[in-house]
Homo-oligomer: A and B are copies of this chain.
Amino acid sequence: MNALRVGLAGLGTVGGGVIAMLRDNADIIAARAGRAITVTAISARDRTRDRGFSTEGLAWHEDPMALASDPEVDVVVEVMGGSEGPARALVASSLAAGRPVVTANKALLAVHGAELAALSEKHGTSLAFEAAVAGGIPVIKALREGLAGNRISRVAGILNGTCNYILTVMREQGRDFADVLADAQRLGYAEADPAFDVNGIDAAHKLAILAALAFGRPVAFDAVHVEGIRAISAMDIAFARDFGFRIKLLGIARHDANGIAARVHPCLVPETAPIARVDGVFNAVVAEGDFVGRVMLEGRGAGAGPTASAVVADLIDIARDRFTPVWGAGSAALSQVPSVAMEQHVGAYYLRLMVTDRPGVIADVTAALRDAGVSLSSMLQRGRSAGEAVPVVLVTHETSEAAIRAALSRIATLDTVTEPPALIRIEPG
């Protein structure tokens, strides 16, 4: 059978990884794909840069859009990134030309996934994106195919390796966020501009994709509630440990009678939960299905190798003509379940205040909680030094987001409360 000819847009870390994998494992890949898979054309910004591999014999296009029409290309691999601009244009025009696309671009799928799925459907062309979520862990395939017969009630995960690395080092070394972030940047685990990662946007893109797949509904990035990890302190990590929890940035989507709630925020997770033990740059995704029960997948969420592994798996599917609709089902078969607003969230909360250590403080705080209908499961006050600010930690029973916010806004007005309170939701894992 003829080789599958790949046009590769983007020659950064991921593009280099794809080239290396197709070259190093050509024998295995040809066996599993039923034919050879070969890069025939590439496009990247700087032609002169030494990337550590030869581009001899490959067609070089200054404009990535040329890959959509190059007659020597059967499938386009887009690993440039960015939800707009060239990436979006290339993917859309390739699909419109009936040319299958493999992309690692979570932002593109999260923001323009509906429109791209429509193009894929109209032209009967694959749009594959295993690499967009959780790197080399085959989580897209697991949700879209492996667990496809299940009604999924919940999907949750550690979806951003940078955040998980920072939180892990903060916990292990008792250091604060800014300090660890600076280190992570030096080590290449965080970008020079880390906002996308540490503010939770990257995880939210991935969660939006997972939720669409898990629940069989159109992708809805705007409906994801997003909070990052900047406000997490070493003190809160230490207190969490005292209560038997670890702090993780989770993406969580749940489908219940009210609809679908999707949120990314730091969580206290019981240290006995499997996901609590997923540390460093590792990612993990948990799915709960009505027949399968709870399934967890864990592995490296980023980097050249894991991302290339996912891209090449998609190429093998395409080489074998294995077709799956973008969101697992055709657009007419997607569900139209409404999104649930964050205010309707119900759960337990960790609340840490800095208060002036004088009589009546705790009475004022607990009265505010009581009046909002929030009941406490435990409280911890550590260190006493009259007149100075000391931390007080409160853990609530299940309550509504609206109630805890009402209590918090009253607590924030107390003149004995010296700093904005830290509020972290508690999740089962």
Contacts and interface: CB of A to CB of B under 8 A. Distances in A.
Interface of A: 17, 20-22, 24-25, 28-34, 130, 135-138, 141-142, 144-151, 216, 274, 277, 289-300, 305-306, 308-310, 312-313, 315-317, 320-325, 328-330, 333-334
Given A31-B216, A138-B147, A297-B297, A291 B306 contact: yes
A300 B286 CA distance: 13
A223 to B, nearest CB: 21
The listed residue with most B CB atoms (<10 A of its CB), out of A138, A300, A325, is A138
B329 A32 contact: yes
Contacts of A328: 31-32
A136 B293 CA distance: 8
A210 to B, nearest CB: 15
A33 B324 CA distance: 9
Contacts of A317: 145
Contact of A31 (B33, B312, B333): B333
Contacts of A28: 148-151, 216
A28 to B, nearest CB: 6
Contact of A293 (B306, B323, B330, B334): B306
28 contacts: A17-B291, A25-B151, A25-B291, A28-B148, A31-B216, A31-B328, A31-B333, A32-B148, A32-B329, A33-B148, A34-B330, A136-B292, A136-B293, A137-B295, A138-B146, A145-B313, A148-B313, A149-B308, A149-B309, A149-B315, A149-B316, A150-B309, A274-B298, A292-B305, A292-B310, A293-B299, A321-B323, A322-B324
Contact of A290 (B24, B31, B130): B24
A199 to B, nearest CB: 27
A322 to B, nearest CB: 4
Q: Which 3 A-B pairs have the closest CB atoms?
A: A138-B146, A149-B312, A136-B292
A250 to B, nearest CB: 17
Nearest to A293: B300
A137 B320 CA distance: 23
B145 A142 contact: no
Contacts of A151: 24-25, 28
A389 B148 CA distance: 57
Contacts of A295: 136-138, 297-300
A34 B293 CA distance: 24
A31 B31 CA distance: 31
The listed residue with most B CB atoms (<10 A of its CB), out of A291, A297, A298, A315, is A291
A131 to B, nearest CB: 11
A136 B29 contact: no
Contact of A322 (B130, B137, B216, B322): B322
Contacts of A289: 136, 309
Contacts of A297: 142, 295-298
Nearest to A316: B148
A428 to B, nearest CB: 16
A240 B305 CA distance: 36
Contacts of A34: 325, 329-330
Contacts of A330: 31, 34
A320 B137 CA distance: 23
A142 B330 CA distance: 24
Contact of A21 (B149, B300, B334): B149
A299 B292 CA distance: 8
A166 to B, nearest CB: 20
B277 A149 contact: no
A146 B133 CA distance: 13
Contacts of A145: 138, 141, 313, 316-317, 322
